[in-house]
Amino acid sequence: ATLAADLRNATIDNELTLVFQRQNLAKSGHLVGYEALVRWRHTEKGPIAPEDFIPMAERSGIILDIGSWVLENACAEAATWHDPVTLSVNASPVQLSRSDFAGLVSTVLLKTGLPAERLEIELTESTPIDDHERVHETIRTLRKMGVRVAMDDFGTGYSSLNTLQAFPFDKIKVDRMFTQSLETNPQSRAILRSAILLGHSFKIPVIAEGVETERQLKFLQEAGCREVQGFLFGKHLVPEQIRKLREGGL
C-alpha cells in the first residue's frame, strides 16, 4: 500500500502522537510556551516525520482530520499544564481556508477549557493561500476571539513579504534555514537582522527557530530577536514530561 493509503486508513487516535518544543525569551531563556509537533507512528514503518506526510495529507484533504486531532489533543494537554504558558499549534492554509476553522477552534477551547489567550496558531505556508478572503476572515475572527496568529517559516517557500503585508499576524517566525547558516553566511545574518527590524516596525515579536548553538543564540540576542526555539534548549518533550515539569513548578 502507498503511504497515502496508509494515512487514510490510519486510525488517527492510535497512530498519531504529539511532542512539544520549548519557546524561550532570547535574553533570559525564560519559558514562554510550547509548540505542538505531530508525529505519525506507522504500524510497520515506525515513526514518520511530518515532512514526509503533511504535504500528502494536504493534497488529499486528510490534513483536516489530522489538524482537528492535533488541535484538540494539544489544547487538552495545555489545559493541564501548571504554568499558563502559550501553546502554539501549526495549521495549514488548507485548514484556514475552511469557513468553519475559527468555529472549530472556538469549540475546542470550550471543550478543553483552554483560554483563547493561551493559544497561538502558526500558519505554515506549505501550500499557497488560494482563498485570500476566507483566510483573512478566519485570521480576523481568531484574533477577535483572543487567539494569536503567527506567520511560520518566514522567508522560505510561499511564506514571504506579500503574505506578511496581506494578513494581520501577531508574530513572525523566521525559518530555521537562516539560523542554521548564520555562522557561515553573512547574507543569512543580514536577512535575520532585517526580519527582526521588520518585526519591530510592525510592532510584533519575532521568533527564530532551529537554534542549536550558543553562537547562534548570541547573535539573535544581539540582533534584538525576542524569542528563540531549538535543540539548544533541549529535546522535544512528550506530554507526560511537560506535566511532570509543570507540577514541579518549572
Question: Which spans of this chain sit near ligand G (rule: CB under 6 A)?
Answer: 21, 37-38, 49-51, 54, 70, 90-92, 122, 124, 152-153, 176, 209-212, 230-231
Any contact of residue 120 with Mn ion (CB under 5 A)? no
CA–CA separation, 161 vs 124, rounded Å? 14
Q: Is 125 in the site for Mn ion (CB under 5 A)?
A: no
Q: Phi first, then psi: give them for residue 93, nearest 5 degrees.
A: -55, -30
Residue 51's binding partner out of ligand G, Mn ion, Na ion, none, with CB under 5 to 8 Å set by partner kind: ligand G
Q: Which position among 120, 125, 153, 227 is part of the footprint of Na ion (CB under 5 A)? A: 153
Rounded to 10 degrees, what is the CA torsion of 64, 70, 72, 73? 150
User: Which region among 6-14, 150-158, 191-199, 228-236 touches Mn ion (by CB under 5 A)?
Assistant: 150-158
Size of interface with Na ion, in residues (CB under 5 A): 2
Tell me if 152 contacts Na ion by CB under 5 A. yes
- β 31-42/16-25 pair status: antiparallel
Residue 210 interface partner, choices Na ion, Mn ion, ligand G, none, CB cut-off 5-8 Å depending on type: ligand G
Whole-angstrom Cα distance, residue 59 to residue 158? 16
Under the criterion CB under 5 A, does residue 90 sit at the interface with Mn ion? Answer: yes
Instruction: Tell me if 92 contacts Mn ion by CB under 5 A.
Output: no
State the minimum distance, in angstroms, from the CB of residue 125 to Mn ion.
Answer: 11
Q: On the CB side of 237, how many CA atoms lie within 13 Å of its CA?
A: 20
Residue 20 Cβ vs ligand G, minimum distance, rounded to whole Å: 10
Exposure of 86 in the CB half-sphere (CA atoms within 13 A): 23
Count CB-CB contacts under 10 A for residue 71. Answer: 25
Region of 72-80, 105-113, 144-152, 240-248 interacting with Na ion (CB under 5 A): 144-152
For Mn ion, the closer CB: 4 or 50: 50
What is the DSSP track for 130-177? --HHHHHHHHHHHHHHT-EEEEEEETSTT-SHHHHHHS--SEEEE-HH
Q: How far is the CB of 249 from ligand G (least distance, A)?
A: 25
Contact criterion met (CB below 8 Å) for 90 and 36: yes
Beta pairing, strands 206-208 & 86-91: unpaired
CB nearer Na ion, residue 210 or residue 239: 210
Nearer to ligand G, 77 or 153 (CB): 153
